[in-house]
Structure 1
Amino acid sequence: MNSKKILLATAVLYFGISDAQQSQYFTQKENYRFNLAENLYQTKIYNASQYEYARQYFYNQNLSRSRKEAAQFFDNVIGVILQKNHAEEGLTAFMKEYPNSAYFAQANLPLADYYLAKKDFPKALETLKKVNQYQLSKEENTQYILKLGYAKFMMGDSKGATDALEEAYKTADESQKGDIAYMLGHLYYSNRQNDKAFQYFDSVKDQPKYSKLVRPYYVQMYYNDKDYDKAISEGTALLNEDISDAYKAEVHKIIGESYFMKGDYDSAYPHLKDYLSVQQNPSENDLYEMGFVAAQLKKYDEAVSYYNQLLNSNSALAQNAYYQLGNAYLAVDKKQEALSAFRSSYQMDYDAKVKKLAHEQYAKLSYDIGNPFESASTVIQNYINENQNDPNASEMRSLLVKSYLYSGNYKETLNAIDKLQDSTPEINKVDQEVSYLLGTEEFNKGNYDEAEQYFLRSLGFNINKEFNNRALYWLGQVYYQKGNYPSAIARYEKLLNENFPEKQQLPYDLGYAYFKSKKFDQAETYFKQYLTNPKPEFKNDAELRLADINYANNNLNEAIAIYDKNEDATDYTLYQKGMALGFKGDTQAKITNLKNLLSKYPGSDYYDDAQYEIGTAYAAQDDFANSNDFFNKVIKTSSDSDLVANASIYRAQNYIDQNQSDKALSELKALGEHYKNSIYAEKIVQAAKPIFTKNGDVAGYESFAKSIGVNVDASEIDEINLSTAKQYFAKKDYKNAISYYEKYLTQNPTGEGLYQAKYELGESYYQTKNTTKALLVLMEVANLANDYQDDAQTRLAQIYVAQGDNNEAKKYLENIKNSSNVNIKNYANVELMKIYGDEKNFSEAEKLADAVIANNKNSAAVIETAKVIKARSLMNSGKDKDAQTAYASLEKSSNTAVAAEALYAKAFYQNKGKAFKSSNETIFKLANNYSSEEYWGAKALVLMAKNYIGLKDNYQASYTCDQIIENYKDFPEIVAEAKEVKKQIKK
């Protein structure tokens, strides 16, 4: 309250009531009281004034309408000024009742004070604008302008506030100028008009009231003007003053940033740290600045801690922070963490320069340690694409080729080479070697056409002689596997005078190539040469092939001698020896040898064949009773339909030789009905022919033959059609063979050679890629017993396997798994093993895998597949120790998918054993060496996230899960697992 005004009002009042009009006031008592209310209001004695106004309003019955309006108005206004309950509602009601009241003008300044006190600046400003300045005294006008400037400032109207305060400053007396100068200094400071701010602050800086308030402004303004030395000097001096902790922290910040801008990080560090230590929620800029300074002072772990607090935002500062975080991680040799940081920085687009630097570091680190999020090659290729004219592009292109090479992604290595504008001797050498390696990779997968192209590409260079020889050797192996034995022989023979790692096996390979070509003399020469220096694991096989050659050349004594020489006689050698003895005419020795096979190998693939051959041997000795005993065993126990049919026919022929013609004919007729229209029907007719001939029953013979589908008088045209078809088929001219088979079968829907013709027609369709027709014809052959049933079912299985129709494939594979043909049986085992593996039927898959692994005649690729399936089965059944051993043997596989799965299993068991860091190292090895195997890479990333959880690094765990969810949508089950892992982190 202004005491002078109060005294003045009292004096006025005193002199007023001493005047000659005193009697009038007493006479007109109520008029006096109304004037008293007005005087009290003007002198701001509000409580007394309100009392008088209220008294007039409610109790003066003679009050004029105008004064009644005035009394009501000032009663409400004073209530608002004194902040009494419901006063504003009363004033609002008055405004509605008297919207044009003349009394509003008298209340504007007090109301403005009220609104300013309540910080209702919009209403305060609105009220102040209604004031008539011309009715104000000089002092009141100064106060009015000051209030107007303050209200505008608080409403964000800096210019309006400045203009108002400048006007007030000009008219204010000295006691008021200090406050106005301080406010103007602050406004100009806020608008970065430092010259003006200095002007007003200088006018009050020496006044005790303002000294402590304005000195921090000086520190900040010196900093803003880049006068860092003055900012430091002024700030240091200010720190020695008695200022609040909040001011002190701000001063520390400005001093620290001044040193920072001067590059004096040692001096900046303690000030910035003092500031940051008292901040509950430091800004991104504060954290970045502190992290940068710590990094410059080689306090890298501390720098990492600051940068890590920035990483929840997406901004230019965060991009820079990620980049600096990567550098800090590198400085403490945390390359894996640096990789993630550089990747995050590169993926932001705020600062192109920082993006490029981060991308470069991200690419180089991906090459150096591997990248679990995306292949190093992809990262480097993206860098090249985005920085075509960059001086580092040439270095990056060379790095790209190496990254593909070292990651085992040989196909992309060649693609990268093909995109190079200019080649060099070094690149040509890589081309030669990678093409060779790709060839061996495709060869091991059984992709012989692709392998051939890569080996031919490698042979286009002759830089590395060893790789040249090896490519030629493996090209020969490709041709051998494709059945092109002449081409295989031609490649092998070019290498006879060369030295290379596989040279020891060359005679063995030549022997087999000639053996398959039926050129037994040359095959014999090379097998004998090989046996002068054989590998132990191939010696026995080479000896047996030499025996087979003698067997084929009818050199039976030599064959038998080799079979006898074999120390560990197998079922195969016993069988072959027995057959050789039989061909020599020593049937008793044949029987003895084959019975030895039955005794030693009851589960042999040759068991049923041996029983059948013993039966034929006894028949040759006219011991028909023993002969039929063995034929009966074959008929009852064998799953080989061909053996069963032949044994049945042979048994009937024995009845004929025992003069039991009626019994024989009865059995043959039953067999004829069973094997009608099959290849066996002709044998049955031939077996029955002596009976009909003996009885002179030619009509019966013709009728019998016709009834079971045998046409005794085949037409010459049909024979020509069939003969021509077979000739084309033998020459592998399948296209021409088809038309002749179709003509033959149109005229001969039944009869001799039906199933052979149908099978060979189906095979011709298959070889000419007409799979639909092939299926139709081969099904007819596969569904009835005949000589080609196994072959047809095998081909059908192959077609369905190629089409990915496992259900249909399995049906035929189950049929042929008991075939007498060892190769067909083994094929069925291999494919059923894979199918059961895919179906997660590990118990069945493991049984078949054991059989496949035990068969050393299988290719390395097939055995390796079996080992993989067995390892999965062991893992699935919880046999961890055995599973780890099984997977460990596969880690160095040349098949990238197998090696990647093996490394994943290693990482899995390391995680299970809580060796989280070792598990992550294994995962990075997987990512580095087998980046092309995305499935196992994605699985490994889930494991990595779990490892980081185990290592208490939730940021890395969460980041890894985010990368899986974003980048591996082709594997929804893995993405789902990553989401579950992330939920664990959030808990």
Structure 2
Amino acid sequence: KYDESYRLFGLLSQKSSKYNEDANYYKAYIDFQKKRYGSSTPVFERLTRSPKYKELASFYLLQTSFAEGKVNESITNGEAYLESYPKSSHNGEVYRILGNSYYRKGIMVNAISNYENYLKSTEKPFREDMLFLGSAYYSIRNYAKSVESLKQAVSYSDEVGQEAYMQLGLASEKQGDNANALLAFQAASRMNYNPGLSEKSLYNYAILLQQSSLAVFDQSIGVFQQFLQQYPNSKYSDNINDALATTLLSTKNYPAALSAISAIKSPGKSVLEAKQMILLQLGIQHYINGDTNNAIQRFNETIAMGFYNAKARNQAYFWRGESFYKLANYTAATRDYETFMTQAGRNDENYNLARYDLGYAYFKLNQYSKANAAFLDYIDVENNKLLPNYSDALNRIGDGYLFARNYSEASRYYTRSANQNPQNADYAEFQKAFVLGLQRDYNGKISALDQLMTKYPQSQYYDDALYEKSRALAMLDREKEAIPVLEKLMKNHAGSLLAQKGGIQLGQMYYNTNQPQKAIETYKNVVKDYPDTEEARIAVQSMEGIYKDINDIDSYASYVNSLGSSIKISSSRQDSLTFLAAESIFMKGQRRTSKEAFNKYLQSFPKGYYAADTHYYLGAIALEEKNNAAALNEFRQTIEGGNSRFLEEALSEAADLEFNDKNYPRAYQYYTRLNNLTQKAEVKDNARIGMLRCATYQNKDQEVVLAATQIIGQSKTTPEILKEAYFYRGKAYLNLKESDKGMADLRECAVDPRYVQGAEAQFILADTFYKWKSYDKAIVQVTEFMKKGTPHEYWMARALIVLSDSYAAKGDKFSAKQYLESLKDNYKGGEADITEMVSSRLSKMN
């Protein structure tokens, strides 16, 4: 159409004097649009003398000089135009041309002022001009305005977009917004419109990723490798190699780090130093995850590398000792602890802990003199006397002296422990009282036990205190005073193993104080409440003597007959010999033969005196054979038999098997019974952990809080278990709408995201802030999580989705989208929920 119009306007300009000027203007306009500036410019210059076309001609002459790159002329013409026509509708474009021209001249203040006026005239500015404006703001250090402008210039479609992303990265970095700087550098590096810019962007991305500690999913290592592959001859190669070595030592993705080292053809000393430390860290991560055998393998590899990294080698001995201890290989643990302390020296961060753990290893081996030597060394070198380990070591020293029958020293160390940690001194106070009894100071023992029960009414040693108090009173011939003590034990602690023994003592005391009917009633309660136990048999036998004394043997006979076969008063000789023969074979390790012998016993004596014991042994054999279903059936029969000889062991094994089968109600029942029954602190702790997990999986939040609180309150709890307790209690508190308590527990757990609970806690904290619409707090939480890093990448991915959602909720769609794009590109997990969450959000944004 332009060509035909141009021909007609040419004819008109030649033949019509009336329309000559108009026709020449439109011909010049068409020449301008066709970029035939040599033809349009002379005409526009003549028209500047025309009242009708002066303004338009001046405007097109300005545009012509700008299009021809005549920067000085554009500035002169533009300033003149604005002065002559301050209210022209074309002034927005004039400001744009002036802003662009001043930018090219390097006069940034004038560029900015003109561009700002240009922006007042349009809602859709040109992207190139927004790139220039952003760069101009950057040059005067107005980084916030620079970022704002550059976000309007970014695009994946051309070189302008690539340059804008690069500049946006630089401006965001200057603002301290490393997260968005990384996203921008990464975006620029993916485009190839300008290869030099791609290289520079990837370099900036790699270095900032390492320096900012915001790398996730092993990005740093992968990015450094990518850079060296894409740009092997880059001037930045040396810097990238140095950064890669540093990153290998700091990464939490240890397998990826080892893989990267393996890809190096001739690793130097520094890389081998890094490898030895990475092997150590990988072993520690296996240890944290409960994969103890693989942990030991990695520690072996660390030690086998020699002395490239002496610190890593020394630490490997310590952690291998910890692993052997966890596997109950206490002899091997002592060797490693000793080696570690010899090589590492007293200034090592784990030296004190190694002394403490060495004491426990010897303690477990019943080598109490060596244990005491280690614990005494520990309290000598430990400066922080507020640590739970310190007061615990004092208790163990007291125990060591107690086993050596050095009662005065035992009492001294129990007293030191109680004074050091009065909030958790119930064990020390109980042991002090017990020692007084051994020294035959029964009044002192009674007084000490009364103080214990007053100070610690919720103590796990309360039932022990009642039982021992009754024994002390009996030793002083104060049986009438002992009776209410035992009555309290029977009433308030019926599930305790001591209640069974206490029932026998209470019956005897009633009899001794001439209360035969109460004695009989008590013994009958023992038989009823604890059937088929040794105490039940003793109770039946004791009643025989009482009934004889009161000359009522008929009532005794009637009572015994009413029991039927539920109580086995004594075993026959054949019953006993058959069981003992089978047990002897078992103890010799002949499992197959002993299994046949035990089954033969049950065939001959299905309700025999040792039936419950036999079922336990058969359960143990089935467990060794990996026949868990058969093992569980046997352990259940031991539990139902009520035989206290193996009741603890059967409850422990059955609870674990039920838990593994996800039969949480039954497992919880067994763990609870075990917790009430056992007098062993370690068994009680394991029972409470089981109760905690079962309650969690059954969504019993109140029970979760109770079990977790008991675990957290123990002075000697491993870091792994503490994390778990805080984690589950925190979630339970949130469910119970006790948000402050829940968030406090989760923060405690989130401190160390090497643990899976710590990583998930980081996510829950961020997600909770997001749900509360505290978007800034959610962003801070995820950013801190990214800095810490974690080997548990699923929870990092979930946290990054929360980060994207938080930016979206704040209206920052750019950052929201970039985080999702980065997650899509870098996350290697294949979980369907992550894929769906990322893809659904991106599709909405697109």
* TM-score bin (small chain): 0.7 to 0.9
- 1:422 and 1:746 mapped to 2: Cα distance? 69
Deviations 1:475-529, CA, capped at 9 Å, x for gaps:
2122122211100111122245341233334443332211110122322333344
Q: Please tell me whether the aligned partners of residues 671 and 691 of structure 2 are also in contact (alpha carbons under 8 angstroms).
A: yes
Question: CA 1:830–1:291 in 2, change beyond 3 Å: closer, same or farther?
Answer: same
| Contact preservation (8 Å) 1:678, 1:755 | no
User: Which residue is equivalent to 2:293?
Assistant: 449
In 1, the alpha carbon distance for the partners of 2:770 and 2:539 equals 67
Say which of 96, 100, 107 aligns to 1:269: 100
Give the AA of the match of 1:778. Answer: F
Match of 1:46 in 2: none
Please give the alpha-carbon distance, in whole angstroms, between the structure 2 residues aligned to 1:614 and 1:177. 119
Query: Would you say the 8 A contact 2:169–2:182 is kept in 1?
Result: no
Write the distance in 2 (CA, Å) between the matches of 1:790 and 1:238.
108
CA distance in 1, matches of 2:46, 2:709: 87
State the distance in 1 between where 2:269 and 2:191 align.
Answer: 39
What residue in structure 2 maps to residue 719 of structure 1?
580
Match of 1:546 among 385, 397, 400: 397
Q: Which residue of 2 aligns with 1:144?
A: none
What CA distance in whole angstroms lies between the structure 2 residues aligned with 1:640 and 1:747?
A: 33
- Contact between 2:221 and 2:257, CA under 8 Å: does it hold in 1? no
Cα deviations across residues 811-830 of structure 1 (Å, max 9, x unaligned)? 33333343343333333333
Matched, 1:420 2:277: no
Q: Secondary structure at the match of 2:69?
A: helix
Deviations 1:426-455 (A, max 9, x none): 122222223333444444555433432333
Find the residue that maps to 1:420 and give its secondary structure.
coil
Structure with max Cα Rg: 1
Q: Distance in 2 between matches of 1:965 and 1:239?
A: 55
What is the distance in 2 between the residues matched to 1:614 and 1:386?
77
Instruction: Provide the rounded CA distance (Å) in 2 between the counterparts of 1:979 and 1:737.
Output: 62
User: How far apart, in 1, do the equivalents of 2:301 and 2:812 lie?
Assistant: 48
CA contact (8 A) 2:734 2:742 kept: yes
Contact 1:304/1:328 (<8 A) preserved: no
Unaligned runs of 5+ in 1: 1-149, 155-164, 166-175, 184-200, 202-206, 224-230
**CA contact 1:402–1:413 (8 Å) conserved in 2:** no
Q: Judge conservation of contact 2:668–2:695 (CA < 8 Å) in 1.
A: no
> What stretches of structure 2 of length at least 5 have no aligned partner?
15-19, 48-52, 76-96, 105-110
Matched, 1:645 2:490: no
Counterpart of 2:487?
632
Aligned to 2:430: 575
Aligned to 2:784: 925
Report if the CA contact (8 A) 2:363-2:371 is conserved.
yes
Match of residue 794, structure 1, among 647, 652, 664: 652
What TM-score do the two structures reach when normalised by structure 2?
0.73
Q: CA deviation at 1:856?
A: 1.0
Deviates more, 1:642-651 or 1:663-672: 663-672
1:472 Cα deviation after fit: 1.2
Equivalent in 276, 283, 287 of residue 127 of structure 2: 287
Distance in 2 (CA, whole Å) between partners of 1:836 and 1:755 is: 29
Rounded to whole Å, the distance in 2 between the matches of 1:656 and 1:981 is 82
Work out the CA distance in 1 between the residues paired with 2:341 and 2:170. 59
Deviation by residue 1:928-951 (Cα, 9 ceiling, x = unmatched): 332544455345445544654676
Alpha-carbon separation, structure 2, partners of 1:669 and 1:874 = 44
Contact 1:911 1:943 in 2 (8 A): yes
- Structure 1 residue 708 and structure 2 residue 567: aligned? yes
CA spacing shift, 1:506–1:573, aligned 2, 3 Å? same
State the SS of the aligned residue for 2:676. Answer: coil
Cα distance change of structure 1 residues 747 and 238 upon mapping to structure 2, 3 Å threshold: farther
Q: Which moved more, 1:753-762 or 1:956-965?
A: 956-965
How far does the alpha carbon of each residue in 1:599-623 deviate from its partner, in whole angstroms, 9 at most, with x for none? 4433222222232233344555665
Measured after TM superposition, the shift of residue 235 of structure 1 is 6.6
Pairing partner for 1:856 from 698, 710, 715: 715
Aligned partner of residue 722 in structure 1, secondary structure = helix
- Contact 2:163–2:197, Cα closer than 8 Å, also in 1: no
Q: Within 2, Cα distance between the matches of 1:177 and 1:565? A: 108
* Aligned residue in 1 for 2:672: 814
In the alignment, which of 758, 765, 770 is matched to residue 615 of structure 2? 758
Alignment of 1:597-616 (within 5 A): 597-616=452-471
Q: How does 1:311-322 map to 2 (within 5 A)?
A: 315=157, 320=162
Greater Cα shift, 811-820 or 945-954: 945-954
- For 1:373 and 1:248, how far apart are their aligned partners in 2? 57
Secondary structure in structure 2 of the residue aligned to 1:602: coil
Q: Kindly, what percent of the aligned residue pairs are identical?
A: 20
User: Where in structure 2 are the equivalents of 1:942-981 lying within 5 Å?
Assistant: 943-945=802-804, 948=807, 952-957=811-816, 959-960=818-819, 970=831, 972=833
The offset of 1:982, in angstroms, is 11
1:340 aligns with 2:201: no
Report which stretch shifted further, 973-982 or 628-637.
973-982
Q: Deviations over 1:821-859 (max 9, x none)?
A: 333333333344455556665554344433322211212
Equivalent position of 2:325 in the other structure: 480
Question: Residues 751 and 332 of structure 1: is their aligned pair in 2 closer, same or farther, counting only changes over 3 Å?
Answer: same
- Aligned counterparts, 1:86-97, within 5 A: none
> Helix, strand or coil: the match of 2:335?
helix
The one-letter code sitting in structure 1 at the alignment partner of 2:182 is L
Counterpart for residue 465 of structure 1: 310
Question: CA separation in 2, counterparts of 1:509 and 1:297?
Answer: 61
Residues 820-831 of structure 1 aligned to structure 2 (within 5 Å): 820-821=678-679, 822-831=681-690
- Aligned-partner Cα distance in 2 for 1:803–1:182: 98
**Paired letter, 1:427:** V
Q: Cα distance 1:680–1:256, how it changes in 2: closer, same or farther (>3 A)? A: farther
C-alpha distance in 2, partners of 1:735/1:404?
A: 52
SS at match of 1:456: helix
Q: Which of 765, 780, 785 is 2:642 aligned to?
A: 785
Matched to 1:793, the amino acid is L
CA distance in 2, matches of 1:241, 1:768: 107
Q: Distance in 1 between matches of 2:594 and 2:841?
A: 60
Describe the shift of the 1:371–1:219 C-alpha distance in structure 2 as closer, same or farther (beyond 3 A).
Answer: farther
Once residues 789 and 291 of structure 2 are traced to their aligned partners in structure 1, the CA distance between those partners, rounded to angstroms, is 19
Report the CA distance between 1:722 and its aligned residue.
1.0
Name the SS for the 1:780 alignment partner: helix
Shift of 1:662: 9.2
Instruction: Map residues 481-520 of structure 1 onto 2, 5 A cutoff.
Output: 481-498=326-343, 499=345, 500-520=348-368
Q: Which amino acid is 1:860 matched to?
A: P
One-letter code of the match for 2:711?
Answer: V
2-structure distance, mates of 1:290, 1:574: 76
* Structure-to-structure mapping, 1:22-171, within 5 angstroms: none
CA distance in 1, matches of 2:70, 2:283: 59
Measured at CA, do residues 975 and 833 of structure 1 come closer, stay the same or move farther in structure 2, by a change above 3 Å?
A: farther
1:833, 1:246 → 2: CA distance?
83
How many Å apart are 1:807 and its aligned residue? Answer: 4.2
Letter in 2 for 1:785: G
Cα RMSD for the two superposed structures:
5.4
Q: Give distance in 2, aligned partners of 1:488 and 1:624.
A: 48
1:268-417 correspondence runs (5 A): 269-270=100-101, 287-288=127-128, 291=131, 295=135, 308-309=151-152, 315=157, 320=162, 323-324=165-166, 326=168, 329=171, 335-344=178-187, 361-369=204-212, 376-377=219-220, 380=223, 383=226, 387=230, 399=243, 402-403=246-247, 405-417=249-261
